[in-house]
Amino acid sequence: AQSVTQPDIHITVSEGASLELRCNYSYGATPYLFWYVQSPGQGLQLLLKYFSGDTLVQGIKGFEAEFKRSQSSFNLRKPSVHWSDAAEYFCAVGADTGFQKLVFGTGTRLLVSP
Amino acid sequence: GAVVSQHPSWVICKSGTSVKIECRSLDFQATTMFWYRQFPKQSLMLMATSNEGSKATYEQGVEKDKFLINHASLTLSTLTVTSAHPEDSSFYICSAEIGTSGSNEQYFGPGTRLTVT
């Protein structure tokens, strides 16, 4: 069974600074990996996903993530954080079972300071 | 496109009563819908997976008789919490998926906050 670890419960970043959110997964085969963002009152929004191919994945809102099989990691990055990026971020791993059964990490709350 | 709605967005009910939560895909037909539960400051836990016209598949530890799921059409799934108790208070989130490939994206609803008094 797959599992996901997000070691940082919350992170504070200054506006304009770079961001990296960590995600480690456990899965026996090639995983499907996702990053979602959750804002209050809104549903989870998909930032990016990795299924195969290029290990550096570009997403929406200027986010990117790099799949590193050797480290079982899929860290999310953004070069310059905006105050509107403050939210809860979830990493998830899925398996091709005919439908996408996702296992989520515990999330990282991003705080952006002025 | 690909919008999923949930109704109600929040509900308060008394212990022992039942409450129904609706999940609708507004602009697409969903072959599969999922129900998650999220505790404060915790992750989303998959409760069950449902396909239109068939019985839901529940995750281990989820009580089928307590959390009734009906996937009546390709655009509507409902979760009924029966004989609710305070420990059922939580944030319930649904999602919908298009297609039958594992590489499909799930679209999430905004969630329903249930408080049982």
Q: What is the pLDDT of residues B30-79, one digit of tens each?
A: 888 999 999 877 789 999 998 888 889 999 999 999 999 998 888 999 99
* Average pLDDT of span A42-57: 89
Whose CA is closest to B6, among B114, B99, B116, B115?
B114
Q: Do A32 and B102 touch (CB under 8 A)?
A: yes
By DSSP bridging, strand A19-21 and strand B4-7 are: unpaired
Distance, CA of B86 to CA of B37 (rounded, Å): 14
Q: Which residue has the higher pLDDT, A71 or A94?
A: A71
Q: Tokens 């999220």: give the residue.
A: B38
Percent of chain B whose pLDDT exceeds 70: 94
CB atoms within 10 A of CB A110: 21
Whether the pLDDT of residue B2 is over 70: the answer is yes
**Which residue from B32, B103, B108 is facing A44, i.e. has the nearest CB?**
B108
Distance, CA of B47 to CA of B57 (rounded, Å): 9
Chain B residue numbers with beta carbons less than 8 Å from the beta carbon of A104 are 43-45
**Which residue from B31, B45, B109 is facing A43, i.e. has the nearest CB?**
B109
Q: What is the pLDDT of residue B100?
A: 56
Q: Which residues pair with B69 in a beta bridge?
A: B79
Q: Give the DSSP H/E element, type plus range, for residue B81.
A: strand B76-81
pLDDT band at B102 (very low <50, low <70, confident <90, very high): low
**How far away is chain B from the Cα of A21, in angstroms, using its nearest Cα?**
16
Q: What is the pLDDT of residue A98?
A: 57
Q: What is the pLDDT of residue B10?
A: 96
Per the prediction, chain B carries an average pLDDT of 90
| Tokens standing for residue B92 | 């319930």
Q: Do A90 and B44 touch (CB under 8 A)?
A: yes
Q: Do B102 and A102 touch (CB under 8 A)?
A: no
Whether the pLDDT of residue B25 is over 80: the answer is yes
Q: Do B110 and A51 touch (CB under 8 A)?
A: no
Q: Which residue has the higher pLDDT, A6 or B29?
A: A6
